A and B are shown apart, each in its own frame.
Chain A
Amino acid sequence: MIEFLQHLGNGTLTSFGKLGRGSRFLIQILSGLTDTLARPRLLVNQLYSVGVLSFMLISISGLFVGMVLGLQGYYTLSDFGAEETLGVMVAASLVRELGPVVSALLFAGRAGSALTAEIGLMKATEQLSGMEMMAIDPIKRIISPRFLAGCIAMPLLAGLFSAIGIIGGELIGSGMLGVDDGAYWSQMQAKLDFQDDIINGVLKSIAFGFVSSWIALFEGYDAIPTSEGVSRATTRTVVNSAFSILGLDFILTALMFGDN
């Protein structure tokens, strides 16, 4: 019994300690952002590894998700003779939910795990301590540019995901299943609002980019500097990012689309 309580208390203290370290880490990142803006070269390098390298994954997934939505939506909607509203269904589900969420999950798997492994290995091979020895702040030099790159890349990737998905839905809907092309676009334009749907979707994806880069960088920075520790940190990044993205998505959806 005592052992159980000790275990429970230890677990609670550890997780609160981690949350505290994570928050302090976030403040350090944010205060390091001014230095990042002064050295855009670092940011461009990170945009390459976070954004450009995720580009293919995101666009191909977007295409297939859109095509599946077109196919499934058509089967359901044609039962009610409402297949003309396919465009609304595909676009609304992509722009509001699937675009930001699925691209953020893919982003956490593709870029987040790479960030954790990179930072964790830097720590394990004492590159971060080496930088400190040379009076270079590793947070400003290494972490902040990666964080900002994640926050910039995420909305762009989510926008691409939705746009390609909508085109994929059109390919299936009007190309294969014979939904009228004009109705596909015009119903979509009539039903989707710029402020309510597009802007909120972009805000969501910025929030997801913020959270998943923060988790990925923190797990790497906080990893136990052994090969096992780094591999565990990478796993935790993917798991925690997925949880936070989905939980945050629920909260944001309730806040943004509550009054519709």
Chain B
Amino acid sequence: MQHSNTQDTLVGLFVAAGIAGLFFLALQVSNLSSFSNKASYTISANFANSGGLKVRSPVSVAGVKIGQVSAISLDPKSYQSVVTMSIDAAYNQLPDDTTASVFTAGLLGEQYVSLEPGGSDTFLKDNGKIDITQPAIILEKAIGQFLFKAAEEKK
């Protein structure tokens, strides 16, 4: 039975190595470890335009990522974009007059939500809403306005 025993060991080693490979992919390569198992709370904000924002785009304060966008939908009455964000529970001291803006990381980078805390003493709670927002800057629009202005000045 010696032969069979080594075979068992090798098969065991193979299965263990395969599962280790899959675990490596799950924990080291994907975002499974970063957010899903941490406690978080949800806040939302209405933007006039959320631009190229996507689900899982980062939410940051002063450049530090504190959460991610969990859903984007359209408010059928105001035609505004409702961006729902899940924020790490460790950062539960955002004032309720926080400003939310959609920015682009670099010229070609992805878009993210930047929160700028205000001075209020009361904090945003779970399912809270950010009232002051600044829409995404659409590059074509900005260039269009600039050209239009330049043409006006020439006259």
Chain A residues with a Cβ under 8 A of chain B: 44-45, 47-48, 51-52, 55, 91, 95, 153, 155-157, 159-164, 166, 185, 188-194, 197-198, 201-202
Contacts and interface: CB of A to CB of B under 8 A. Distances in A.
B11 A44 contact: yes
A157 B14 CA distance: 9
Given A44-B7, A188-B29, A189-B33, 5 more contacts: A189-B31, A190-B34, A192-B31, A198-B29, A201-B25
Interface-centre pick from B15, B29, B58 (highest chain A CB count, 10 A): B29
Contacts, number: 89
Contacts of A95: 25, 29
30 contacts: A44-B7, A45-B7, A48-B10, A48-B14, A51-B11, A52-B10, A52-B11, A95-B25, A95-B29, A153-B18, A156-B19, A156-B21, A156-B22, A159-B19, A159-B25, A160-B21, A161-B21, A162-B21, A163-B22, A164-B21, A166-B25, A189-B28, A189-B29, A189-B33, A191-B31, A192-B31, A193-B30, A194-B31, A198-B25, A198-B26
Interface residues of B, number: 26
Contact of A157 (B7, B18, B34): B18
B24 A189 contact: no
A189 B34 contact: yes
A189 B17 CA distance: 22
Contact of B14 (A47, A91, A166, A190): A47
A163 B13 CA distance: 16
A163 B17 CA distance: 10
Interface-centre pick from A47, A153, A163 (highest chain B CB count, 10 A): A163
B48 interface: no
A150 B28 CA distance: 27
Contacts of A191: 31
Interface-centre pick from B7, B11, B18 (highest chain A CB count, 10 A): B18
Interface string B18-45: 1111101110111111101000000000
Contact of B18 (A91, A156, A193, A194): A156
Interface string B110-137: 0000000000000000000000000000
Nearest to B55: A193
Contact of A159 (B21, B30, B31, B36): B21
A204 to B, nearest CB: 13
A197 B30 contact: yes
B5 to A, nearest CB: 11
Contacts of B25: 95, 159, 162-163, 166, 198, 201
Contacts of B58: 190
A192 B29 CA distance: 7
A185 B28 contact: yes
A55 B14 contact: yes
Contacts of B17: 55, 156, 160
A52 B17 CA distance: 10
A156 B15 contact: yes
Nearest to B8: A44
Contacts of A48: 7, 10-11, 14
